[in-house]
Amino acid sequence: MRSIKQSDHRHLYLKISEMMEDQINKELLKIGDKLPSVRVMQKVHGVSVSTILKAYYHLESKGLIEARPQSGYYVRFTPKQFPAQPTKSSTDYKPGGDTAEEIIDEVYQNISDRDRIVFSLGIPSLQLIPVSKLNKAITEATRKLPFGGIGYENVQGNIHLRKQIAKWSLTWEGRLTPDEIVTTTGCMDALSLSLAAITEKGDTIAVESPCFFSILQLAESMGLKVIELPTDPNSGIDIGALQKTITAKKIKAIILMSNFSNPLGSYIPEDNKKEIVELIQFHNIPLIEDDIYGDLYFTKSRPKTCKSFDKSGLVILCSSFSKTLAPGYRVGWVAPGRYLDKVRRLKLYREVSSTTLQQEAIALFLENGRYEHHLRKLRNILHVSSMQYMRTISGFFPKDTRISHPQGGLYLWVECNNKTDTYRLFKRAIKDNISIAPGRMFTLKNQFHNCMRLCYGLPWNERIEEALISLGELVFQSNK
């Protein structure tokens, strides 16, 4: 067993646990195998006993190993036991069936009920938010801003925040400047402004399928026609289908979540992102890219965006801090590229100004390194939760259940067999205080009735495990 260099001391336990996890993934360590003792690992790596124990606790938290009293640690589970991924979506379905609006309204009733296990809400648990540090940032912002921050902000947004976002864009090779950024009231506001800047009523846009329901409802409310394109749960939108659609139809805009999409959790590989950008540049079609989950990666580095490859200004990048830091602050932003003037003007007409205190507080959070520190902790917790969710589903749902294998983000897409109607499942589960997001919410067509989205933003505990086991039992009952 190779050792970890002592000189790389920061997060040393994570490096050791990653090495062990890699051996489990490759089945060099198989289920039932005993791991080397803590003392042996300590001598091999030249670290403290507490570091090795922390590494083993981390693997245990993911459900990969278990401690046996007076015996040691053993491999309990391997990701190779995960069910197959969901099937690639199809474009063969027609509109009809229960309307998405009705289901969305029902799912989001009483969403704040504290007694309910809410797998349907797409934000991290508020337990994972650094509330006290954010409160301090608000206090500091009040002191720093003229008149305590009660005045209107610049129409383009807080300059301090725009500078910090521009610096942060270097993590995905964005190289934005503050003048290229407009702050918004959350990511949906950024998407709305972007769509309004480049489309008119009656225009046609192309989206992934399944697609975040708010994007679909927004497009319909604006009188836009929507073409849903087949999407792979692993690699994202089918580029061949996108090419054919662009050639056959007059597409005014494309909307994609390139990193850890909602609800599928798909991640578009960098070569595909580059190909998509080349495609839109050739056809002169703007791409609205929603990268709200890009910072929630489980891999070793932050993935690039389509905007990373954009040289024409056709990629309009939207994001916010709602899924990573402060859901209720509603601080988002957009880098509109060549459509900057239109977006800025639309914001002026619609809003005049966006929040002042919250923008300054988040700017301070970015500037002093607290955001990066918070993200490291949050990503670790979400990764652990995702593994535990997948392990439980694989053990307590029917064997023909398929689940996505996300590399980041907040969601699992669960595909049951055709006997399961997840809207009916929702109605039954809500009686047990368990809320899910039925798949029909994420399409305008009559499809995904046997699918559901589960958010693993709830930190793993016994109550979550019991809720998933109960949900699995309800799926079994629906198959009878």
pLDDT 10s digits, 71-98: 788 888 777 777 888 988 877 766 666 6
Q: What is the CATH number of the domain that holds 285?
A: 3.40.640.10
CA 315 to CA 311: how far, in whole Å?
9
Could you read off the pLDDT of 38-73 as tens digits, one per residue? 888 888 888 888 899 888 988 888 888 888 877 788
Same domain, 192 and 216: yes
Q: Is position 4 within any domain?
A: no
Q: Is position 156 within any domain?
A: yes
Q: Which backbone phi and psi does 226 adopt, to 5 degrees?
A: -120, 130
Q: Is the dihedral of CA 449, 450, 455, 461 positive or negative?
A: positive
Average pLDDT for 401-421? 96
Q: How confident is the model at residue 417 (pLDDT cuts 50, 70, 90)?
A: very high
68 by DSSP, 3-state: which? strand
pLDDT of residue 95: 67
Could you read off the pLDDT of 214-239 as tens digits, one per residue? 999 999 999 999 999 999 999 999 99
Q: What is the mean pLDDT of the chain?
A: 91
Same domain, 300 and 438: no
Q: How many domains does the chain have?
A: 3
Same domain, 54 and 161: no
pLDDT of residue 94: 67
CA 23 to CA 419: how far, in whole Å?
38
Q: Is position 1 within any domain?
A: no
Same domain, 90 and 73: no
Could you read off the pLDDT of 16-46 as tens digits, one per residue? 988 888 888 888 888 778 889 888 888 888 8
Beta partners for 55? none
pLDDT of residue 97: 62
CA 191 to CA 187: how far, in whole Å?
6
Same domain, 191 and 304: yes
> Vertex 266, ends 260 and 267: CA angle to 5°?
70
CA 35 to CA 276: how far, in whole Å?
45
Same domain, 208 and 124: no
* pLDDT over 60 at 8, yes or no: no
CA 343 to CA 197: how far, in whole Å?
6
Beta partners for 231? 237
Q: Is position 3 within any domain?
A: no
Same domain, 236 and 309: yes
Q: What is the CATH number of the domain that holds 426?
A: 3.90.1150.10
pLDDT of residue 191: 98
* pLDDT over 70 at 459, yes or no: yes
pLDDT of residue 421: 96
Angle, helices 131-144/357-367, rounded to nearest 10 degrees: 110
Same domain, 17 and 153: no
Same domain, 233 and 300: yes
CA 385 to CA 379: how far, in whole Å?
10
Which of 150-164, 312-326, 334-348 bottoms out in mean pLDDT, i.e. has the lowest?
A: 150-164
CA 81 to CA 284: how far, in whole Å?
44
Same domain, 67 and 93: no
Host domain of residue 334: 132-370
Q: Is position 461 within any domain?
A: yes
Same domain, 176 and 307: yes
Dmax over CA atoms of the chain, in Å, equals 70
Specify the higher pLDDT residue, 13 or 471: 471
pLDDT of residue 215: 97
pLDDT of residue 76: 83
pLDDT of residue 355: 85
Last residue of a domain, one of 41, 61, 80: 80
pTM of the model: 0.88
Number of H helices, E strands in the chain: 15, 16
Q: Is position 6 within any domain?
A: no
Average pLDDT for 247-264? 96
Q: How confident is the model at residue 6 (pLDDT cuts 50, 70, 90)?
A: very low
Same domain, 290 and 428: no
* Alpha-carbon radius of gyration of the chain: 23
pLDDT of residue 33: 85
Lookup result for tokens 């942060």: 168
DSSP string covering 242-273: HHHHHHHS-EEEEEE--BS-TTT--B--HHHH
